[in-house]
Structure 1
Amino acid sequence: MESASRGGEGVLDGFARRAIALRGAGKTVYVAGSGPAVVVMPEMPGISPDVVRFAGWVRDAGFTVYLPSLFGVDGAYPTVELGEAVIGRVCVSEEFRAFAGGGSSPVAAWLRALARLAHEECGGPGVGAIGLCFTGNFALTMTLEPAVLAAVLNHPSLPLDDPSGLELSPEDAAAIRRRFDRDDLTALAYRFDNDKWCTGRRFAAYARLLGDRFDGRVLPGACANPEPPPFFRDTVATPHSVVTAHLVDEENHPTVRARDEILAFLRTRLLPA
């Protein structure tokens, strides 16, 4: 992955840049905070300033954030040109399964190994996993790692060509359901009601898989930030990123309440009483 200096000067200040090799592959991971670990995965087209802002909120809530660089230019402002170039590369990458029929993305195995490492380094009851957009479903797949106790799926967009798909192999789907029942887990999820990339059909599919263990929450699209960065305005072209690009940072705003609900969910699962 490209360094933060190529994207936005100072955006990732306060995060330690680490090179972490797992399962024969090395990636850059930005780490900050103290307390139980939470893996915050970037949304398309990468670790934008809005993703860093959200990761900072998680850190400040009492957690150690592990922010892996999976695609794009770290710290970059999400322009149309950058976003479309990154999408083109990622959709043909062997690490990702962007389209229906591909099953679970191989990168999820690396992310599970990262969660295991983070738990070893930080201790506590377990690890949280937060996916955003392109990585939304990875938070669910990561629960195949026993250390992951809290999964948050924000507007999961894969597979891109199947609104009711889950980007899971049948074997992984069955194993995830067993894990949720055995360990009394819940998946927390968010989307806007008029999001064309994460529709009600996708949330219905999650509910069929997990039953009452899927807590899907829907916000009115009318409350989304009307002036997101150009990539979200022109390419995404729909209310989509609940806690990043389309968040309105105002007290008691629905998107801020969603952020606070996520932080409360993490505290309940990961911070001892």
Structure 2
Amino acid sequence: MGLLDSWTAGSHTADGLTYPTYRKGSGPGVIVIHEIPGITPGVIGFAEQVVARGFTVVLPSLFGRPEGPASAGEALRSIARICVSQEFSLFALGRTTGCAPWLRSLARRLHDELGGPGVGALGMCFTGGFALAMLADAPIAAPVLAQPASPAPLGRARAADLGLGPADLASVKAKVAAGCQVLGLRYDRDPAVGTRFDTLRRELGDGFVAVEFPGRKHSTLTEHPQPEGVERVLAFLEEKLTTKPET
């Protein structure tokens, strides 16, 4: 039995793009965006924990082979796809990912269906900053950045860049100033994250909540999971997405 056999396969089309999706659970909506190389067993395992906590989880498959291993070969194939795609960029400075309109549309559809305060959006590694891109122009109430690693931290400017265009950065800052918190997780000596946490602290102030673990590992929720990190994410989603009854 495949790891995704209990998930409902579908697709979403927006902005001239169509990507497969996998859905499971009930309750408030959470979009979990996989890391390189794709929807690995580790990503599915984390998503299952979110489902078990009482959420409707949607896994978009943006690149890679669903259920493929988190191997060097799979990663190289995904990177090759990313490098020739107009929807993604490994190196662009001050630019929002080209798949942001598609992700925002997916969030709007999920929120229209499920209602509530908003949708959760979690990106990791290469897609870590995608949750911020969604916050800029979609009903995102719980954005989570797990070890954001794009653009590739080659040089000081890229190491600090958040992967947002100026207008989207201004929109994110306005929403955070209005009360939307952003949760970030990383290992404190992970070179892939660069100095983005410093940028997030500077741009978002107290609206950025950092959860940092010692070490040079990378994937805080999947391949090198930290139980405390997983619990912090689940608690954050519950706090921001669960409508509390009036007293």
Contact 1:97-1:104 within 8 A present in 2 as well: no
In the other structure, the counterpart of 1:240 is 218
CA deviations 1:46-86 (Å, max 9, x no partner) are 00000000111111111100100001001101221121121
Contact 1:36-1:271 within 8 A present in 2 as well: yes
Instruction: Give the unaligned 5+ runs of structure 2.
Output: none
Asked if 1:216 is matched to 2:210, the reply is yes
| Identical-pair percentage | 40
In the other structure, the counterpart of 1:234 is none
In the other structure, the counterpart of 1:196 is 191
Asked if 1:163 is matched to 2:155, the reply is no
Distance in 2 between the 1:131 and 1:33 partners? Answer: 19
Distance in 1 between the 2:54 and 2:192 partners? Answer: 32
Distance in 2 between the 1:243 and 1:49 partners? Answer: 12
Q: CA RMSD in A?
A: 1.2
Distance in 2 between the 1:153 and 1:202 partners? Answer: 11
Contact 1:97-1:167 within 8 A present in 2 as well: no
Contact 1:103-1:167 within 8 A present in 2 as well: yes
Which 4+ runs in 1 deviate beyond 6 A?
none
Asked if 1:113 is matched to 2:108, the reply is no
User: Secondary structure of 1:52's match?
Assistant: helix
Offset, 1:27: 1.0
Distance in 2 between the 1:171 and 1:19 partners? Answer: 29
Contact 1:38-1:66 within 8 A present in 2 as well: yes
Matched residue count: 240
TM-score (norm 2): 0.94
In the other structure, the counterpart of 1:74 is 66
Asked if 1:264 is matched to 2:235, the reply is yes
Contact 2:144-2:184 within 8 A present in 1 as well: yes
In the other structure, the counterpart of 2:79 is 87
Distance in 2 between the 1:216 and 1:95 partners? Answer: 28
In the other structure, the counterpart of 1:57 is 49
In the other structure, the counterpart of 1:139 is 131
Letter in 2 for 1:167: G
Asked if 1:187 is matched to 2:188, the reply is no
Contact 1:35-1:124 within 8 A present in 2 as well: no
Letter in 1 for 2:236: F
Distance in 2 between the 1:82 and 1:110 partners? Answer: 24
Instruction: Give the unaligned 5+ runs of structure 1.
Output: 1-8, 222-237, 248-254
User: Secondary structure of 1:163's match?
Assistant: helix
